[in-house]
Amino acid sequence: MKPVDRHLADILAQVRPLAPLEVDLERALGAVLAEDVTSPVPLPPFDNSAMDGYAVRAQDVVDVPVSLPVTEDVAAGDGALRAIGPGLVARIMTGAPMPAGADAVVPVEWTDGGVQKVTIHHRPELGNAIRRAGEDVRAGQVVLAEGTRIGASQLGILAGVGRRRVRIRPKPRVVVLSTGSELAEPGQPLGPGQIWESNSFMLAAAVREAGAEGFRAGAVTDDPARFLDVLDAQLLRADVVITSGGVSMGAYEPVKEALAPLGRVAFEKVAMQPGMPQGFGLIGEENVPIFTLPGNPVSSYVSFLLFVRPALRRMQGLPAGLPETVQATTTESLRSPAGRRSYLRAVLTGHTVAPVHGQGSHQLAALASANALVVVPEEITELPPGSTVEVIPL
Ligand code: AMP
Ligand code: MG
């Protein structure tokens, strides 16, 4: 059997980052930056008031209380400003530029709020309540580095440095196609021998959680010709295809039957539990990566985390590898088959971890109740309670 790490390495050797493109800021949320973004100006661009109050010369407000004439109002957005003469003050609003001559702002709360004349009760420090030009960002400074995922605050600073268009790597478009003649669409009644189809919903959601676009292509029956038809049609809009089911050792394995003869997808046994039967290759004229995941829901989910998610990260220009782990102490004994790396569904609480009941690869409810996977190495078959283990938080 092929080690987990080698299977992932083989996959990553065949997937490349998507070509960057330039998009309007409104369409950049969730994408990954494909450039270093710098600011053309300092931020703030000019010294301005941090509060509503009065722009003063600090030396005029040493002995308080003091009453001084107010010469004018300075509002946010005001351009041409007169200098403040000795013994005079200007009423100033938050964000308004500091007039020349003034070197402190007295908050309105320290005054009587006068309009023609103001009485000030507290002495301001030199520079009080002034936001200095460039104290957030220097001109030419990199505010966001290539490889940064654009969330709300990153979008904010892109706009804040005046960018309207930005170079990003697009989200990979991932089509999820389930196979199985037993599968009924949720919302429809179950016939004899049927189960509700869950993998395409789960995997498309996992794709979105990984920052890519997930599309459900629904489910096809175990008919290789029909499977190939649907796959062909879906390839047009896909950067990646994920299939579930139809890759095991039995009969009626449409994915394997349809794709194995084409010679472009390698079907292999990977030394893991759950999720031993794996397939990966590049198909169609565009060499679209295809992951043929096993059909058991827990197997397909774990396979997604170990192999598909890193590939999606690579395609977005992000660092890619096996999921990060933390260490925890198991409260119960753990069992694992020899020669296979196990991913046990578990609940992680602080630094302790407890496996959930129901470790079968069909036990989706147990998976849904877990918040972590305990990784048990290939050579270990049993661990006593109190053992330190590696855990993948979900
Ligand atoms: P397969 O890999 O096709 O042999 O399927 C393995 C097991 O997973 C069978 O019990 C299937 O019924 C189940 N299964 C396969 N595909 C799905 C799916 N899309 N949703 C839920 N269960 C599935
Ligand atoms: Mg099947």
The pLDDT tens digits of the residues spanning 5-47 come to 999 999 999 999 999 999 999 999 999 999 999 999 999 999 9
**The pLDDT value given to residue 95:** 97
Domain range spanning residue 37? 21-43+135-169
Is 309 part of a structural domain of the chain? yes
CB 4 within 8 A of CB 272: yes
Ligand 1 centroid – CA 299 distance (Å):
10
Is 91 part of a structural domain of the chain? yes
Ligand 1 centroid – CA 147 distance (Å):
36
Instruction: Tell me the CATH number at 123.
Output: 2.170.190.11
Give ion ligand 2 contacts, CB < 5 A: 180, 245-246, 295
**The pLDDT value given to residue 260:** 93
Residue 218 pLDDT > 90:
no
For residue 180 and ligand 1, the question of a CB distance below 6 A is answered with yes
* Residue nearest atom 15 of ligand 1, based on CA coordinates: 295
Is 374 part of a structural domain of the chain? yes
**The pLDDT value given to residue 13:** 98
**The pLDDT value given to residue 158:** 98
State how far the Cα of 234 lies from the Cα of 248, in Å rounded to an integer: 23
Is 8 part of a structural domain of the chain? yes
The pLDDT tens digits of the residues spanning 346-376 come to 999 999 999 999 999 999 999 999 999 999 9
**The pLDDT value given to residue 1:** 96
Instruction: Tell me the CATH number at 366.
Output: 2.40.340.10
* Residue nearest atom 3 of ligand 1, based on CA coordinates: 245
* Residue nearest atom 8 of ligand 1, based on CA coordinates: 296
For residue 252 and ligand 1, the question of a CB distance below 6 A is answered with no
For residue 185 and ligand 1, the question of a CB distance below 6 A is answered with no
Per cent of the chain over pLDDT 90 is: 97
310 & 186 share domain: yes
Residue 391 pLDDT > 90:
yes
For residue 274 and ligand 1, the question of a CB distance below 6 A is answered with no
**The pLDDT value given to residue 271:** 98
**Ligand sitting nearest the alpha carbon of 279:** 1
Is 320 part of a structural domain of the chain? no
Ligand 1 centroid – CA 183 distance (Å):
8
The token pair that represents 170 in the structure block: 């697009």
**The pLDDT value given to residue 20:** 98
For residue 275 and ligand 1, the question of a CB distance below 6 A is answered with no
389 & 339 share domain: yes
Ligand 1 centroid – CA 300 distance (Å):
9
256 & 179 share domain: yes
195 & 310 share domain: yes
Q: Which of 262, 273, 210 is nearest to 239 (CA)?
A: 210
Residue 250 pLDDT > 90:
no
75 & 126 share domain: yes
154 & 187 share domain: no
Entry pTM: 0.91
The pLDDT tens digits of the residues spanning 70-127 come to 999 999 999 978 999 999 999 999 999 999 999 999 999 999 999 999 999 999 999 9
CA dist 207 → 111, 200, 210, 341 (Å): 57, 10, 5, 24
Instruction: Tell me the CATH number at 243.
Output: 3.40.980.10
Residue 247 pLDDT > 90:
yes
Per cent of the chain over pLDDT 70 is: 100
Confidence of residue 59 (pLDDT cuts 50, 70, 90): very high
What backbone torsions phi and psi does residue 307 show, to the nearest 5 degrees? -120, -40
Please calculate the CA angle 292-298-302 and round it to the nearest 5 degrees: 65
Ligand 2 centroid – CA 228 distance (Å):
15
Residue of higher predicted confidence among 252 and 383:
383
**The pLDDT value given to residue 305:** 98
When pLDDT is averaged across residues 256-279 and rounded to a whole number, the result is 96
Q: How many domains does the chain have?
A: 4
**The pLDDT value given to residue 81:** 86
For residue 296 and ligand 1, the question of a CB distance below 6 A is answered with yes
Q: Which atom of ligand 1 is nearest to the CA of 198?
A: 20
Is 66 part of a structural domain of the chain? yes
State how far the Cα of 26 lies from the Cα of 18, in Å rounded to an integer: 20
**The pLDDT value given to residue 249:** 85
Q: Which of 239, 373, 212, 293 is nearest to 7 (CA)?
A: 293
**The pLDDT value given to residue 254:** 95
**The pLDDT value given to residue 364:** 98
* Residue nearest atom 12 of ligand 1, based on CA coordinates: 182
Write a three-state SS string for the chain.
CECHHHHHHHHHCCCCCCCCEEEEHHHCCCCEECCCEECCCCECCCCEECCCEEEECHHHHCCCCEEEEEEEEECCCCCCCCCCCCCCEEEECCCCECCCCCCEEEEHHHECCCCCEEEECCCCCCCCCEECCCCCECCCCEEECCCCECCHHHHHHHHHCCCCEEEEECCCEEEEEEECCCEECCCCCCCCCCEECCHHHHHHHHHHHCCCEEEEEEEECCCHHHHHHHHHHHHCCCCEEEEECCCCCCCCCHHHHHHHHHCCEEEEEECEECCCEEEEEEECCCCEEEEEECCCHHHHHHHHHHHHHHHHHHHCCCCCCCCCCEEEEECCCEECCCCCEEEEEEEEECCEEEECCCCCCCCHHHHHHCCEEEEECCCCCEECCCCEEEEEEC
Is 321 part of a structural domain of the chain? no
Ligand 1 centroid – CA 294 distance (Å):
7
Q: Mean pLDDT in the chain?
A: 97
For residue 295 and ligand 1, the question of a CB distance below 6 A is answered with yes
Ligand 1 centroid – CA 245 distance (Å):
5
Instruction: Tell me the CATH number at 149.
Output: 3.90.105.10
240 & 330 share domain: no
